[in-house]
Structure 1
Amino acid sequence: MSVDSNAKSSDESAIINEQQPKHNFQLTQLVPNVPLRVDEHSLEHSYVFSYFMRPQGKFDPEDYAMYVQPISKISSVEQFWQVYRFIKRPSEITEKVDFHLFKEGVKPVWEDPTNRNGGKWILRLKKGLSSRIWENLLLAMIGEQFLVGDEVVGAVCSVRNQEDIVSLWNRSADSLPVTNRIRDTLRRVLNLPTSTILEYKRHDDCLRDQRSYCHTSASVGQQAHPHHQNHHQQQQQQMGAGGGSRGGVK
């Protein structure tokens, strides 16, 4: 299914709840769930927008899931645009924050039963480049452009000081045909230059690192899963001596 950006609903008042407080850091307005209308274009799956912002003071990374805040559930193209327009774009944000869009019922953490045997493709971006990439990734995901059945479960955009990190999560890290197809589709739908580095990271590797999120620490030089060893070797050759894994996205 192709998601047309021109399909935005004109019924703006339906999603603005003046009684709901705004987040004090103004990343988004709280958006109440809106019933699906019969004339809307239903998505194959329902999704939930959410975000994570590290709390002040002492923080145990294992408590990441406790601090994930839902924004709204979406089940149609129109609902996507109704909610998405209230969320600041990554390039407009100065705070460190993770934005998620995951299938309903799946938590954006490695430990979720759906994610335990999975992994993610990671794309590192220079500041200012992530807003377009993030939007195109979301549209491709909810529009079922990856053609790998129920494999794709969600996407994350991590806004950081020096770079932004976009990742796409899937269920089965051991399936090389699936992960390769997702990679190739990512390059196509995001219109990535051939020199762009995409890294695959297994969730169980992240768990062994004893962190609750590894968007900012994933390194191409780390031990890769055997099925992806050749891919990582190619990435290292592309990287040269720099050691980073930034995507050359224009």
Structure 2
Amino acid sequence: MNNKFDALKDDDSGDHDQNEENSTQKDGEKEKTERDKNQNSSKRKDDANKNGGKWIIRLRKGLASRCWENLILAMLGEQFMVGEEICGAVVSVRFQEDIISIWNKTASDQATTARIRDTLRRVLNLPPNTIMEYKTHTDSIKMPGRLGPQRLLFQNLWKPRLNVP
């Protein structure tokens, strides 16, 4: 798994002189961070992930925080043992339920998707009767959710009004 984390450093050394090289390097890092954010905006459409899919777990309200924390810790601890196959995770807090999904790069690799499913069930302490749905990215693009295109329509119509003097 490719983990990218940026750490903030406190400079308590007392030496606050920055030369042009450090300043240029920091500007380059900021540009790279912005570029990475833009490139990662849609994992489904990324060529490296277009043949992938995701495991979807619908949860009762109140369980998402614990499950999300356990999922992230399992990913960081590489408990899934599938190498670079996992490419993302999503938590979606909804009105009546919460949804957690974990994305992988190759939907056709049934052994890997089964290993991800079994590890998810273990690290999230899911009961045996928990329904887990696997959906390929191509199916997700064809059928974008329960609300389908209407969801996009409402997102584009509603705009908050700000009362700024």
Which TM-score tier does this pair reach, normalised by the shorter chain?
0.5 to 0.7
For residue 205 of structure 1, what is the aligned residue in structure 2?
139
For residue 85 of structure 2, what is the aligned residue in structure 1?
151
Give the distance between the partners of 1:108 and 1:119, measured in 2 at CA. Answer: 13
For residue 136 of structure 1, what is the aligned residue in structure 2?
70
Residues matched between the structures, number: 119
Instruction: Map residues 64-83 of structure 1 onto 2, 5 A cutoff.
Output: 74=5
Output the amino acid matched with 1:46: N
Give the distance between the partners of 2:67 and 2:91, measured in 1 at CA. Answer: 10
For residue 46 of structure 1, what is the aligned residue in structure 2?
3
CA 1:158–1:146: 2 relative to 1, 3 Å: same
For residue 97 of structure 2, what is the aligned residue in structure 1?
163
The answer to whether the 8 A contact 1:45-1:142 is kept is: no
For residue 195 of structure 1, what is the aligned residue in structure 2?
129
Q: CA deviation at 1:45?
A: 2.8
CA 1:217–1:195: 2 relative to 1, 3 Å: farther
Structure with greater proportional strand content: 1
TM-score by length of 1: 0.44
State which structure, 1 or 2, has the greater radius of gyration over its C-alpha atoms.
2
CA deviations 1:9-37 (Å, max 9, x no partner) are: xxxxxxxxxxxxxxxxxxxxxxxxxxxxx
TM-score by length of 2: 0.65
Structure 1 portions without partners, runs of 5+: 1-43, 48-73, 80-102, 219-250
Q: CA deviation at 1:178?
A: 0.5
Instruction: Map residues 13-52 of structure 1 onto 2, 5 A cutoff.
Output: 45-47=2-4
Greater RCO (Cα-Cα under 8 Å, separation 6 or more): 2
Q: Percent identity, please.
A: 54
4+ long deviations beyond 6 Å: none
Structure 2 portions without partners, runs of 5+: 8-35, 149-165
The reply to whether residue 121 of structure 1 matches residue 55 of structure 2 is: yes
Q: CA deviation at 1:204?
A: 0.2
Q: CA deviation at 1:124?
A: 0.2
Q: 1:183 aligns with which of 94, 117, 137?
A: 117
